[in-house]
Amino acid sequence: MVHVGKSYPIHDALGKATGRTVYAGDMELKGMLHMAVLFSKIPHGFVKKLDYSKAMELPGVVDVLYYGNTCQKEYNRYHSQYRQDLIHTERIFNQHVRFVGDRIAAVVATTEEIARKAVSLIEVEYEEYSFALDAHETLEGKIDNMDEHGSVFGSIANEVGTRPENDGTFVEVDTTTHIDRINHMAMETHAAVAEFDSQGELTIYSPNQTVYGIRSFIADLFDMDYNKVRVVKTTMGGSFGGKQEWVLEPLVAAAALRVKRPVKLVYNREESIRSTYCRAPMYFKNKFTFTPDGKLQDVDCDLLLDAGAYLGNSINYARTLGSKFFRTYRYPHETFHAQVALTNTIVSGAFRGWSSPEFNINFEHGMNMAARKLGIDPIELRLKNVIHEGDIELSTGLNLGDFKGRQVLELGREKFDWENRKKEIAEFNAQNKRYKRGMGVSLGGHVNGFYPAKPDYTRVDMCVTESGTVRCGVTLHDHGCGTVTAFKMIAAEELGIEVDQVRIQEGDTAVTPQDFVGCFSSRTTYVMGRATQECAKLLKERIKEHFAVERGCDVADVVLDGMTVYSTKEPDVVYTWSDLVYASQQRYQHEIFASYEYVSKDNPGVCGGHFAYVEVDTYTGMVKILDYLAVQDIGQAINREICIAQTQGASVMGAGAALTEHVHYRPNGVPFANLKDYHLLNSFEAPSVRVELIENHNTEGPFGAKTIGEVCHVPASAAVVGAVNDALQSDLNDLPLTPDKITAYLKNREER
Amino acid sequence: MMKSYAPKTMAELPASLAALTPESKIVGGGTDFVIRLHSGAVQPDALCYLGHIPELKKIEKQGDTISVGAYCTMTQMEHDPIVREYLPALMDAAADVGSLQIRNNGTIGGNLGNASPAGDLIPVMYLYDAKVEIASPNGTRIVPVTDVILRPGKTILEANEAFIRFLFPVPAFKSAFVKLGSRKKVTISRIGVALGLDMDGDYVREMKMFAGAVAIKPVAFEKACDFMKGKTINEQNVLDVAGFLSDYIAENVAPEFDRDYKVYASRGVVTDVFDRILGRL
């Protein structure tokens, strides 16, 4: 292949490096106003009195929106598909406030400074209610009054397979897991712009993962014709799932509809942490059952998921987590039960991997504890249970295809020097009192799109310009990770032209084809990429047909070569694609274009195996990652360096969730919403991640590709946690494993 | 509208200070101040920046005293040959403040003026018996650093006063500083230990030790120092010194200020500061 598998810079790298790229927060429209939001300062209560007279008197203030003058229809921020069946608990502005950071009102003014100043002049009187900061408090009935639908949603359960007969030798391993809430921490904070024009069309500009999803959400919320709502995806400075639920979009829409001028809203870092959404805190209790020689027989898993203040995606998230049991290991039986509880905290929502990393953190800890109990090496135990090529996913009956889990583990074992290192670690730990070393492995399976759980298809349009270059419209939402470049490479490879001879138009409901699914669930490259490849094939046929008509020759004899076309019967008559466009315009009177709709046909197993080597300072609880290796089962890397960089970033992100990241709450319900207290792994602590890609080119994806962006995040946290537990011979799985938690554990152990 | 003053010479300084009110602020590198300004937590009527005055950016050795201008940055102190030779604990502390960008701006004057219990340089100032020269419209006065901090965020500085110079007597002992934060780098101190050792061969003649971030002001550990007199530096003795620190924390720090962690991790930071000073003996 000419392009696919090579490395190209992302399409807007130059603009980003030079500061010329325009994000939603940089946009300026004629007559544009600025919005700032008044947030609840209490975790739960009722706004008895709201006095915004002083705000209105401030020069430059145009309008104040609040629950009394704005659409009060209930919605669900996770609404991304037409007629999606969801429980609606949230409003644009809320008088019954449910968390510190809930929206009460907003000011629209000529500058952001004035809008923020005016917000500080609004006087609020609350009636305070009892509140719950932890899902267990909700179960105890502390906030039974919170929502008319109830505060606990408990009917999520599944059972798959047949429980094997215990011959009396089975070994049971009981484990618990707690995962704290984490923020996506995209470099770009949340922003949105809306304008409402004189023809009654509302346009929303925002960094987001589905323009058609927002169109459905906004049109339904404001009872508008879908044709009167246009949504444009802007340059995205990272999402990680943080820009696939609608927080700012309804606010700017409501404001623009009222003031009939463009309105921009930009959340600062504190607001993005506190008032958008986070990954859900989760509590797991499990029983894993093995044969004495390490064959997994049964998993019983109980989950309590903290939804935060509004329901959002939490029920779907818990259910999706329950669908992940058979994408990594094969065993005969599983039971899963989940409860989702509201709390007076940040709303929970999507996060990179959509429950697969959380599933993995819980499951792989079980595998590690079992390995210890059974006296089997952790890689060996995984090899005994890993899914093989062509295995059937027990829960769906789906063929998992060319799943390379076994090869991932074997390659990782070799490249990580696992066996030798085990000996080195034993020696080091025997000689060292203060520092202890350990290794962890994690194998994490994931999906490539929604098939077969949900419909998953998309359409791609292509045409040839007068220059002979190709325009491609596909409802992409590049998160900042290089999707546009990857798609240019896919199209260029198939068309036999240069990467820069393809232009990709990203999601804009006025321009790009309908894609009601959105850039979720690792479907972009696998499904939409294949659609783009197929569309390029069709466009090649169209070019040949046009040439055949133009020259009166047989289509079968027409050959494409770069941006030229000729017939083997007449090799001296070579048209450039530009010549052919001119001929088509003048004589054939027909555009050279193609439109192709691709329906996803399968969903092969895909996985990553991560290996971490750590050193724990038992005096201070600090963890240093000494080495890290990620092996990804990728089918075919499209843009190689980007796949590697994605995996490195995901590994550091997962390591951060394992060791340092969490949004901590004060007892009064106020979160620590800043980067002073929320510790990402910084460059001093981030490991140099080595990446190995296993490529077998054997899938329905474009050129045999599988997904990468989410699956490379799936195993990361568990690998690091496993290494810490190996170093300390501990059974900790209360994430993040901060120095405080590690030292508290060591102190308890010393005292026992 | 906020006023601003930025005198360029010592001669211009008194007039600028005279213009300030109790609502005004002297600005150093703005490490903490700018965050509070943006959040609206402070709304000063005027800002005064003295970093254009050359004398306030100088580090000099005059006889037995090292003079460090109040606007010397962390980066400057980290690399200054006089600081590295005579005040290595100040170098240690300056080198470990925040990120490089913060160290390039953050000043020694700001570190004391901010009067944070976690101020990295303050235990080092205590260790070295530093004094600070304070300018006002009417002249200057010199006070021991130990008299400067009244409470978190509040010093003895009057509205028209500013730190201009720190005076460190050349120490007759070896010294080091180590801080323990929530992570390795770019972190706020949870415990900072400044240690001074005067050795007689393998035996400790005199020891000085101050811990930061465990109280409003740095805490002196005289009993630990007495304990070490005449002893050698070995693992058990170091752990015993750490015991003085952890006992202090257990008795005096409130649980919500990470007490349990600090009690446990004391031995880590004390071991590290002894290791660092041993490298300098």
Do A64 and A199 share a domain, yes or no?
A: yes
pLDDT of residue B39: 84
User: In degrees, to the nearest 5, what angle opens at C-alpha A476 toward C-alphas A475 and A479?
Assistant: 150
What span, in angstroms and rounded, lies between the C-alpha atoms of A163 and B185?
50
pLDDT of residue A154: 86
* Residue closest to A303 by CA, chosen among A238, A363, A370: A363
* Pairs of residues, one from chain A and one from chain B, whose beta carbons lie less than 8 Å apart: 51
Helix axes A356-374, A640-659, angle to 10 degrees: 70
pLDDT of residue A278: 98
Do B14 and B96 share a domain, yes or no?
A: yes
8 Å CB contact of A746 and B264: yes
For the segment A425-433, the average pLDDT, to the nearest whole number, is 97
Q: Which residue of B has its CA nearest to A683?
A: B185
Tell me, what DSSP letter sits at residue A588?
I
Q: Write the pLDDT tens digit of every residue in A345-362.
A: 999 999 999 999 999 999
Do A730 and A676 share a domain, yes or no?
A: yes
CB-CB neighbours of A178 under 10 Å: 15
pLDDT of residue A106: 98
* Pair A196, A168: CB distance under 8 Å: no
In a domain, A336, yes or no: no
Do A625 and A735 share a domain, yes or no?
A: yes
Could you list the beta-strand ranges (E) of B145-278.
149-151, 154-155, 162-169, 174-180, 191-200, 203-212, 219-220
In a domain, A379, yes or no: yes
DSSP A281-336: PEEEEEEEEE-TTS-EEEEEEEEEEEEESS-TTHHHHHHHHTT-TTSSB--SEEEE
Do A191 and A257 share a domain, yes or no?
A: yes
Do A629 and A595 share a domain, yes or no?
A: no
CA B281 to chain A, closest CA, distance in angstroms equals 23
In a domain, A569, yes or no: yes
What span, in angstroms and rounded, lies between the C-alpha atoms of A382 and A386?
6
Q: Which domain holds residue B79?
A: 3-169
* Pair A269, A249: CB distance under 8 Å: no
pLDDT of residue A220: 98
Do A95 and A199 share a domain, yes or no?
A: yes
8 Å CB contact of B184 and A622: yes
For the segment A516-532, the average pLDDT, to the nearest whole number, is 96
Could you list the beta-strand ranges (E) of B70-159.
131-136, 139-144, 149-151, 154-155
Do A121 and A233 share a domain, yes or no?
A: yes
Q: Amino acid letter at A667? A: P
| Mean confidence (pLDDT) of chain A | 97
Q: Which of B178, B186, B267, B275 to mutate to test the interface with A (most CBs of A within 10 A)?
A: B186
Tally of structural domains, chain A: 3
CATH code where residue B248 lies = 3.30.390.50
From B188, B267, B269, residue closest to A676, measured CB to CB: B188
Tell me, what DSSP letter sits at residue A702?
G
Do A743 and A612 share a domain, yes or no?
A: yes
Which of B146, B169, B192 corresponds to the end of one domain?
Answer: B169
What is the gyration radius of the CA atoms in chain B, in angstroms? Answer: 19
pLDDT of residue A145: 86
β-partners of residue A154 are none
pLDDT of residue A364: 98
Q: Please tell me if residue B6 touches chain A, with a CB cutoff of 8 Å.
A: no
Q: Write the pLDDT tens digit of every residue in A626-638.
A: 999 999 999 999 9
What lies within 8 Å, CB to CB, of A96 at 6+ separation is A45, A46, A47
Q: Per-residue confidence at A405, pLDDT binned at 50, 70, 90?
A: very high
Contacts B187 to A, Cβ<8 Å = 679
What span, in angstroms and rounded, lies between the C-alpha atoms of A112 and A267?
11
Do B157 and B80 share a domain, yes or no?
A: yes
Which of A539, A571, A599 corresponds to the end of one domain?
Answer: A599
Phi and psi angles of residue A626, each rounded to the nearest 5 degrees, phi first: -85, -35
Q: Per-residue confidence at A53, pLDDT binned at 50, 70, 90?
A: very high
What span, in angstroms and rounded, lies between the C-alpha atoms of A496 and A566?
14
Do B153 and B238 share a domain, yes or no?
A: no
8 Å CB contact of A620 and B258: no
Q: Which of A269, A620, A682 to mutate to test the interface with B (most CBs of B within 10 A)?
A: A620
For the segment A729-743, the average pLDDT, to the nearest whole number, is 98
Do A646 and A534 share a domain, yes or no?
A: no
* Residue closest to A735 by CA, chosen among A674, A656, A682, A667: A656
* Residue closest to A699 by CA, chosen among A631, A630, A637: A637
* Pair A522, A446: CB distance under 8 Å: yes
pLDDT of residue A284: 98
Q: Write the pLDDT tens digit of every residue in A707-726.
A: 999 999 999 999 999 999 99
8 Å CB contact of A740 and B258: yes
CATH code where residue A234 lies = 3.90.1170.50
Q: Amino acid letter at A236? A: M
**Statement: the pTM of the whole predicted model exceeds 0.95:** yes
What span, in angstroms and rounded, lies between the C-alpha atoms of A85 and A311?
13
Tokens of B121: 């340089």
What span, in angstroms and rounded, lies between the C-alpha atoms of A323 and A395?
7
DSSP A484-525: HHHHHHHHHHHHTS-GGGEEEE--BTTTSPP-SS-S-TT-II
Helix and strand totals (H; E) in chain A:
18, 29
* Pair B280, B176: CB distance under 8 Å: yes
pLDDT of residue B38: 86
Q: Write the pLDDT tens digit of every residue in A56-65.
A: 999 999 999 9
Helix and strand totals (H; E) in chain B:
11, 14
Do B201 and B227 share a domain, yes or no?
A: yes
Which of B169, B203, B224 corresponds to the end of one domain?
Answer: B169
Q: Which of A618, A619, A624, A625 to mutate to test the interface with B (most CBs of B within 10 A)?
A: A619
Percent share of chain A, pLDDT over 70: 100
Using CB atoms and an 8 Å cut-off, which of residues 63-82 of chain B contact chain A? Answer: none
pLDDT of residue A16: 94
Tally of structural domains, chain B: 2
Q: Please tell me if residue B273 touches chain A, with a CB cutoff of 8 Å.
A: no
Contacts B268 to A, Cβ<8 Å = 434, 617, 619-620
Tokens of B9: 């010479």
pLDDT of residue A155: 83
Q: Please tell me if residue B186 touches chain A, with a CB cutoff of 8 Å.
A: yes
Q: Per-residue confidence at A536, pLDDT binned at 50, 70, 90?
A: very high
HSE-up of residue A495 (Cα within 13 Å, Cβ side): 32
Q: Write the pLDDT tens digit of every residue in A643-690.
A: 999 999 999 999 999 999 999 999 999 999 999 899 999 999 999 999
CA A740 to chain B, closest CA, distance in angstroms equals 5
Do A439 and A486 share a domain, yes or no?
A: no
Do B95 and B188 share a domain, yes or no?
A: no
Q: Which domain holds residue A556?
A: 457-599
pLDDT of residue B10: 97
Q: Would you call A170 exposed, middle or buried from its count of C-beta atoms within 10 A (0-12, 13-18, 19+)?
A: middle
Do B192 and B154 share a domain, yes or no?
A: no
Contacts A617 to B, Cβ<8 Å = 268
For the segment A228-240, the average pLDDT, to the nearest whole number, is 98
What SS3 state is found at A412? helix
What span, in angstroms and rounded, lies between the C-alpha atoms of A423 and A445?
29
Do B155 and B235 share a domain, yes or no?
A: no
Do B107 and B214 share a domain, yes or no?
A: no
Do B109 and B79 share a domain, yes or no?
A: yes
Q: Which residues of chain B have pLDDT under 50?
A: none
What span, in angstroms and rounded, lies between the C-alpha atoms of A192 and A214?
12
In a domain, A155, yes or no: no
Do B134 and B181 share a domain, yes or no?
A: no
Element holding A157 (H helix, E strand): strand A152-161
Which of A599, A622, A637 corresponds to the end of one domain?
Answer: A599
Element holding A446 (H helix, E strand): strand A435-446
Q: Write the pLDDT tens digit of every residue in A431-444.
A: 999 999 999 999 99
Which of B169, B199, B229 corresponds to the end of one domain?
Answer: B169
Q: Please tell me if residue A159 touches chain B, with a CB cutoff of 8 Å.
A: no
Question: Secondary structure of chain A: what % helix, strand, coil (to 5)?
Answer: 30, 25, 45
CA A105 to chain B, closest CA, distance in angstroms equals 19
Do A213 and A233 share a domain, yes or no?
A: yes
8 Å CB contact of B261 and A621: yes
Which of A599, A616, A635 corresponds to the end of one domain?
Answer: A599
* Pair A159, A334: CB distance under 8 Å: yes
Q: Per-residue confidence at A283, pLDDT binned at 50, 70, 90?
A: very high
Do B160 and B233 share a domain, yes or no?
A: no
8 Å CB contact of A685 and B182: no
Do B165 and B221 share a domain, yes or no?
A: no
Contacts A121 to B, Cβ<8 Å = none
Q: Is B21 left (phi over 0), alpha (psi -120 to 50) or beta?
A: beta
pLDDT of residue A382: 98
Do A437 and A497 share a domain, yes or no?
A: no
Contacts A739 to B, Cβ<8 Å = 182, 261, 265
Contacts A660 to B, Cβ<8 Å = 182-183
What span, in angstroms and rounded, lies between the C-alpha atoms of A94 and A171?
52
CA A142 to chain B, closest CA, distance in angstroms equals 24
Q: Would you call B44 exposed, middle or buried from its count of C-beta atoms within 10 A (0-12, 13-18, 19+)?
A: buried
What SS3 state is found at A400? coil
CATH code where residue A659 lies = 3.30.365.10
